[in-house]
Structure 1
């Protein structure tokens, strides 16, 4: 399993957001470097997004919400930047609607 996983929930419809493309990137000398790519499954999850271990540092998840909302949402993408400072699993859920989003560190 990847050290970083995500789960996207469509709060407007009250169900998982299937089919959202997600990219995992690492900050490397001021440049974002791709580490993994996935698409949310029927349960809104991406479990195999990148490596099983990551060095401590800054990472970001880029959610292609424009594809999910087919051009009807306000945010064409959501970018969540976070720090990995330990070797624990990092689960980063995204709560999504066409005109709002929020995120948190899950378990």
Structure 2
């Protein structure tokens, strides 16, 4: 396999993988146009069942992952604020080397999140 894109969602509030989080992957053109490439849901390990992009579909450019975490956290707290503090989290990043593995994890709680380029 040549370059590819993966993600992982970790629930830092509960100390576990975030199961059932909907994720949309968009390609962003230089003009700012958005093209939906994939829609997936995290599995029991907080990961997707397969890489989001692989081989010839994984190109140099700008991408955006949108994580729908509001409904995920609502299942734990019926008294959660409406609307939630964090609902959809967009992470925009660029790929400079389409032969590399880009892993973009999301560490999230109902009130904060962080990300990094993993391996």
| Aligned pairs, number | 107
Shift in Å, 1:31 = 0.8
Whether 2:88 is the aligned partner of 1:84: answer: no
- TM-score normalized with structure 1 length: 0.90
- TM-score normalized with structure 2 length: 0.82
Q: Which consecutive aligned stretches of 4+ in structure 1 deviate over 2 angstroms post-superposition?
A: 47-51, 70-73
> Contact (CA 8 Å) 1:21, 1:38: kept in 2 or not?
yes
Unaligned stretches of 5+ residues in structure 1: none
Shift in Å, 1:78 = 0.7
Larger-gyration structure (1/2): 2
Whether 2:17 is the aligned partner of 1:13: answer: no
User: In structure 2, which of residues 30, 34, 37 is the aligned counterpart of residue 35 of structure 1?
Assistant: 37
Look up the SS of the partner of 1:59 in the other structure: strand
Give the structure with the higher percent strand: 1
